[in-house]
Structure 1
Amino acid sequence: MRVQKASNRTLDRIDLHILSVLQEDARIVMKDLAEQVGLSLTPCIERVKRMERDGVIQGYHARINPLSVGMQVLVFVEITLNNKSDAAFERFRRAILSIPEVMECHLVSGDFDYMIKARIPEMQEYRRLLGEILHVADGGQSKSYVVMEELKETLALSIGR
């Protein structure tokens, strides 16, 4: 699944205000959202629908405490592919999408190729996950970082600052 690109349409200050409020509370009633941003109901709904259609708003999600569902361990993994061909990068991309423990995977510049963020129930499970990732990387190299304490994690963007 590829991320949908947002439209090139410029967002005005009201759009940015709507986005800011929705980041705080995506379950807000449209009537209350309209009041907060200074619009009547219909134009507010139209703006939200346009931003959804244009890919600015990509979805609404429940944020779940990972500990409450037994995902105790957060790990970041640097992956370096041995083969740097376009086909190798595409194989890795397709395969990594199928590993459910992988929450994020980014192709990066620098000393390695990919940065992966994954959640697992316990440290013993990490050996299996790392083996699966290295298999996908066709025998590439890895460097792992197990998180000892999470200080800040947010999906909210700094809008309009």
Structure 2
Amino acid sequence: MDAIDEKIIAELTRNARISHAELASRVRLSRNAVRQRIERLERQGHIAGYTIVRQPKDSEGDVVSALVLVYRQDRMRGGEVLAALKRIPEVVICEVLSGDFDLMVRLEALSLERIRSIWEDIAQMPGVRDTVTALTLSRVVDRPRAGKGSTA
């Protein structure tokens, strides 16, 4: 991947419905060149899919989020835990950590009940020794992540 590919991915992250013509003007390529690059990025797995993000039905539009810190039974052979977490749609981030905890999992769901249900599922997974969970009370900073090599 080069800097132009990174810019294409950054633009698609901001707006996955952007037209090839608009994207081409933003990255200074022809529409056909952008289309070919997107197809290559999809084949290579850099773009794994497009998704719909629905707003919750409540009047506030708030999503309940939580951080779950996970201790695994075996840090080196805990792949089944990672595979199971990847299958939970409300898991928006899962990172392997150094230090005391093995994994940091960020959950975003439409209700506290759904967060509790997912937490119970995680705690009962084979290979999970213990968890520590913290609910998000408020979000102070919420900015899109810049891609590698991005000038934004």
TM-score band w.r.t. shorter chain: 0.7 to 0.9
What do the CA deviations read for 1:32-76 (whole angstroms, capped 9, x no partner)? 2223333232222212222222223333223333x3378742111
Partner of 1:52: 42
In structure 1, give the amino acid aligned to 2:103. Y
**TM-score of the pair, normalised by structure 2:** 0.73
* Cα 1:118/1:71, change in 2 over 3 Å: farther
Number of positions where the alignment pairs a residue of Structure 1 with one of Structure 2: 148
Q: Where does 1:40-79 land on structure 2 (aligned, <5 Å)?
A: 40-65=30-55, 67-68=56-57, 72-79=63-70
Q: 2:118, 2:108 → 1: CA distance?
A: 10
Partner of 2:94: 105
* Cα 1:110/1:30, change in 2 over 3 Å: same
Q: 1:79, 1:34 → 2: CA distance?
A: 43
**SS of alignment partner, residue 7 of structure 2:** helix
Deviation (angstroms), 1:30: 1.4
Deviation (angstroms), 1:120: 3.7
**SS of alignment partner, residue 140 of structure 1:** strand
Q: 2:4, 2:115 → 1: CA distance?
A: 45
Identity of aligned residues (%): 25
8 A contact 2:81–2:128 mirrored in 1: no
Q: 1:20, 1:61 → 2: CA distance?
A: 15
The one of 114, 131, 142 equivalent to 2:120 is 131
In structure 2, give the amino acid aligned to 1:76. L
Partner of 1:143: 132
Partner of 1:28: 18
In structure 2, give the amino acid aligned to 1:141. D
Query: Structure 1 regions of 5+ residues with no counterpart?
Result: 1-9
Q: 1:86, 1:118 → 2: CA distance?
A: 24
Structure with the greater alpha carbon radius of gyration:
1
Deviation (angstroms), 1:156: 3.8
Query: Structure 2 regions of 5+ residues with no counterpart?
Result: none
State the Cα RMSD in Å: 3.0
8 A contact 1:76–1:146 mirrored in 2: yes
Partner of 1:160: 150
Q: 1:155, 1:142 → 2: CA distance?
A: 28
**SS of alignment partner, residue 57 of structure 2:** helix
